[in-house]
Amino acid sequence: MRDRAWGAVAPEPRVMLAADVGGTHARIGLVDAAAPAGAGGVLAYERYAGADWPGLAEIFADFLARHPGHAVDEAAIAVAGYVRDGELVAENLRWPVRLAELRERLRLRSLRVVNDFEALAYATQYLGAGESLAVIDAPAAAGPVAVVGPGTGLGCALLLPDGNGATVLPSEGGHVALAPGNEREMALLRLLGRGRDYVHTGHALSGPGLVNLYRAVAELDGLPAIHTQPEQISAAALDGGDALALDTLHIFCAMLGGFVGDLAVLFKASGGVYLAGGILPQLREFLPRSAFRERFFNKGVMRGFLAGVPVRLIEHGRLGVLGAAGLAARDEA
């Protein structure tokens, strides 16, 4: 096929089935991995509630039935887990995923599995203007880019740009020790750590972590904990009529700011930090007004460095799908 404006030969479409599979949702897309900008464009996209389906194969089959007309024999799956003995091992998955069965059922020539936040970090290099919201505004400089996302768990990854593209380092940053920032948070840490040898950051800074934090704050203050789901706590806090939920959300944002600042310092993320995950989009107005900013900068002599690190909020959405396809296509090139 020839480009009309320049007379150049455009690459033939390389349509890949790509998925970003989490504990709550499976995001599925068809991606042209041969398109310009490396990762290509999303040709079709759907989001599925995992609880409504018996398995990933059934979700894929429904998606392909809804979007016919493409010969697809390649697939890429982004997931918070790893492959062991031909099966996806992921704490948050609702059902087993056996790769050989999936490959046979969908008649796939190639099936790749990548880390979900590795895929998300890879896709951030293709973000356009207006596709993110400034939480801390600063001009981005060349350098590493960190991606952090509290969702079903706490995901982290690092993008290292170079002249030939980018390298992505997956991370288990959500499993580092939770660091309190004041006396009240120390008291909460003692409650969160009761019966445990170790309290990791994701135990507080995730969807389930928000519930853990809410219960700990309620116990510390001698109040009844009436909410059981993170979205209930967020909604009650944002409504303004629930002081316990509001206090919990303020603590959550403050601790998240401290953790994100730690990552920015650890990796010298002069290229900025992107915040993603299932919780934060609904906090897009609350987060910039919370103590997130104060705690992000509270790093002693590194405050000057952090003043030049932009922090922006992105929607997880199609980015994980785009990144999964992009990584798979890059690795096979």
Name the burial class of residue 76, with classes exposed (0-12), middle (13-18) and buried (19+) by CB atoms within 10 angstroms of its CB: buried
Considering the domain architecture, whether residues 200 and 137 belong to the same structural domain is answered as yes
- For position 208, what pLDDT does the model report? 93
Q: Does the residue 6 lie in any domain?
A: no
Considering the domain architecture, whether residues 116 and 161 belong to the same structural domain is answered as no
Residues near 206 by beta carbon (within 8 Å), at least 6 away in sequence: 150, 151, 152, 153, 154, 174, 277, 279
- Produce one character per residue of 176-193: b if its CB has 16 or more CB atoms within 10 Å, e if not: bebebbeeebeebbebbe
Considering the domain architecture, whether residues 110 and 230 belong to the same structural domain is answered as no
**CATH, residue 24:** 3.30.420.40
- Give the range of the structural domain holding residue 33, as residue numbers without chain letter: 15-122+318-332
Considering the domain architecture, whether residues 105 and 140 belong to the same structural domain is answered as no
Considering the domain architecture, whether residues 267 and 137 belong to the same structural domain is answered as yes
Total domains in the fold of the chain: 2
Q: Does the residue 245 lie in any domain?
A: yes
Q: Does the residue 5 lie in any domain?
A: no
- DSSP H helices, 23-179, are 56-66, 99-106, 116-123
- For position 2, what pLDDT does the model report? 37
Considering the domain architecture, whether residues 198 and 77 belong to the same structural domain is answered as no
- For position 12, what pLDDT does the model report? 64
Q: Does the residue 310 lie in any domain?
A: yes
Q: Does the residue 235 lie in any domain?
A: yes
Q: Does the residue 167 lie in any domain?
A: yes
Residues in the chain where the model's pLDDT stays below 50: 1-9, 36, 38
**CATH, residue 172:** 3.40.367.20
The residue among 70, 145, 97, 177 whose CA lies nearest residue 323 is 145
Distance of CA 239 to the CA centre of its chain: 26
Residue bearing tokens 């809410």: 214
Considering the domain architecture, whether residues 228 and 107 belong to the same structural domain is answered as no
The residue among 222, 244, 223 whose CA lies nearest residue 233 is 244
Q: Is 104 helix (H, G, I), strand (E, B) or coil?
A: helix
- For position 17, what pLDDT does the model report? 95
Strand partners, 112: 76
Name the burial class of residue 298, with classes exposed (0-12), middle (13-18) and buried (19+) by CB atoms within 10 angstroms of its CB: middle
